[in-house]
Structure 1
């Protein structure tokens, strides 16, 4: 019989290294798979899921002092905090709560705001927001989800960092609490370009709505908003802002400009509520007045953009004109929306935007919100 030849040591070493390499690659693949299969704890969806799990569902059974949740969607700080300070000073602490979605990592404390009402009111799970992107509505949903954790919050008002109140707290509180309806600007969008047929069959065109993103919701409707897992994915995929013209892209611009130009925050809540058959439970208007620069030349950079109120054009007469508006006309529906609460005629607007610091100082000095010594604003914040 022939004796088997011994395997050279170098072959053993080479085989061992191959096994080590194969095993290492296998472990890396498994680790990557597990990493990607786990939800990102810092993603908007994960943040919303955590907030949703803590929501107290007491829309009907809650008893006690009801609160209005003021939800501020801010770029960074709140430049008009001094005006809101005066507004909240005249409110009962049990009648309101404040939540702010700001840039991730930004803190509201003595060094960043003049008002103690905003200390620590920022969301810890805020996200980076881009104008005209789905991140805007994801930030809104985070605000509503966080506010829903407090069962005392029964009305929810979404505001920008340039919004101002047109009345004192007592008037606004009674106005909102008297209505069993949400107040949401919502109308049929018949123009081509926003609705994408690829949204079918989930979102039919007859349910496609448009309106101002500045809304006021009842608790039940706020729950509908944060519970949505059907309409939002469609928006994220098919409702996107058209990229601006870039001369470096040459002929590619022609193709890009044929894309649907969809602004998610002008359609999402309105379409979601319409899809939920809740149109009949809405006052279909907004509480926030905006002065639009309706330029006839659509190519102008400032055309169809909100105007900014400054010290000069925030005169008492202009504020009175805004407060005296009692109806809104919607040309796409040939509808006049008369502003009423429980069949009683009321002013349409409780808030207005976009206000500069100078305009806000004038509101205070004229006593629109309450007495305020504007000379205090001449000193820099601590």
Structure 2
């Protein structure tokens, strides 16, 4: 049965939980990555696979943001299950292991609170997973996302990249332009994916991929 999903509404997270539930039915699936049609890989398959499978942590971005688009979205009616100091914000684009995926699908304590009280400008997809993971599984989480997004222009949506934006310099920046921690060590490989890339970028991406991303290896 088809169900409508609307941006920012709890039903978007419900859809993510259904995706996880179906993916969990295959016991060979050990890691789960949420991507969209506007996401691109930044490395070849073997690099992405080895990075994810060897990680000792999950990748759910979570941070405490003061102000109207962070703590300002908290609803006091969420108490006592969720307190203001537990409220977190983060990217919708997650990577998690099987153990965490099972917990997300099985959650009957926190998601119903979001479904009941996180409406309108609350944006469940930006707060449910960061809050849930930070409350229960913060020791296993890296507090960062593997999907690079450009928010430099401000507004409710990230930058959309078109054909002429795709350059060697941009792709190298996305691949190695930041520093983070991975399995207790510093690395300059922090993002495995990036968004939002429009369909007209495909031609240039395919031309650059063999040389920059080693997609043929």
Tell me the residue number matched to 1:238. Answer: 117
Partners in 2 of 1:239 and 1:369 — Cα distance?
43
Tell me the residue number matched to 1:270. Answer: 130
Tell me the residue number matched to 2:145. Answer: 286
Tell me the residue number matched to 2:55. Answer: 179
Report if the CA contact (8 A) 2:133-2:141 is conserved.
no
- Where 2:114 maps in the other structure, the secondary structure is helix
1:293 deviates by: 4.3
Tell me the residue number matched to 2:158. Answer: 306
Partners in 2 of 1:305 and 1:180 — Cα distance?
31
Partners in 2 of 1:183 and 1:293 — Cα distance?
22
Report if the CA contact (8 A) 2:45-2:215 is conserved.
no
> Which one of 9, 17, 21 corresponds to residue 141 of structure 1?
17
Q: Does 1:131 align with 2:10?
A: no
Q: Does 1:191 align with 2:67?
A: yes
Larger radius of gyration: 1
Tell me the residue number matched to 1:348. Answer: 190
Report if the CA contact (8 A) 1:287-1:349 is conserved.
yes
Unaligned runs of 5+ in 1: 1-41, 43-103, 105-126, 242-260, 296-302, 328-337, 372-382
> What is the correspondence of 1:184-223 to structure 2 with a 5 Å cutoff?
184-192=60-68, 193-223=72-102
1:191 deviates by: 2.2
- Where 2:35 maps in the other structure, the secondary structure is strand
> Which one of 347, 370, 376 corresponds to residue 215 of structure 2?
370
Tell me the residue number matched to 1:19. Answer: none
Report if the CA contact (8 A) 1:166-1:369 is conserved.
no
Report if the CA contact (8 A) 1:326-1:339 is conserved.
no
Which has the larger share of helix?
2
Which structure carries more relative contact order (alpha carbon 8 Å, separation 6+)?
A: 2
After superposition, the CA RMSD in angstroms is: 1.6
Tell me the residue number matched to 1:359. Answer: 201
- Where 1:283 maps in the other structure, the secondary structure is coil
Moved over 6 A (4+): none
Deviations 1:223-242 (A, max 9, x none): 1100101111111111112x
Unaligned runs of 5+ in 2: none
Report if the CA contact (8 A) 2:17-2:105 is conserved.
yes
Partners in 2 of 1:339 and 1:360 — Cα distance?
31
1:304 deviates by: 4.2
Report if the CA contact (8 A) 2:176-2:188 is conserved.
no
- Where 2:66 maps in the other structure, the secondary structure is coil
